[in-house]
């Protein structure tokens, strides 16, 4: 397309951006949104924001689970020590 000097339509870029947002490839989705010259619909931006929110909430869930896992690990080791003595 670059050799022929063809430009991708904004609707195609928006559709690709939504697809990459769903796949959680947020950098690529954002770069495609930046290439759009005029977007009349908020859906591509909403898809990116929803995916960002999903990434943040899953990261927070993991961060909450790590102390809990270490607690259960310590509890298990204490239990095993009491069983061995």
The pLDDT of residue 64 is above 80? no
pTM for the structure as a whole: 0.60
pLDDT band at 85 (very low <50, low <70, confident <90, very high): low
What is the 3-class SS of the chain, one letter each residue? Answer: CCCCCCCCCHHHHHHHHHHHHHCCCHHHHHHHHHHCCCCCCCHHHHHHHHHHHHHHHHHHHHHHHHHHHHHHHHHHHHHHHHHHC
For 2-54, what is each residue's pLDDT tens digit? 567 778 788 888 888 999 998 888 888 888 888 887 767 788 888 988 988 88
Q: What pLDDT, on the 0 to 100 scale, is given for residue 48?
A: 86
Can you tell me the mean pLDDT for 47-64?
81
């Amino acid at each position: 397309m670059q050799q022929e000097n063809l430009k991708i339509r904004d609707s195609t870029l928006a559709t690709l951006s939504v697809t990459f947002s769903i796949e959680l490839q947020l950098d690529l989705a954002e770069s495609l949104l930046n290439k759009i010259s005029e977007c009349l619909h908020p859906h591509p931006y909403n898809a990116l924001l929803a995916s960002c929110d999903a990434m943040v909430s899953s990261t927070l869930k993991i961060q909450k689970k790590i102390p809990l896992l270490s607690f259960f690990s310590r509890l298990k080791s204490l239990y095993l020590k009491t069983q061995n003595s």
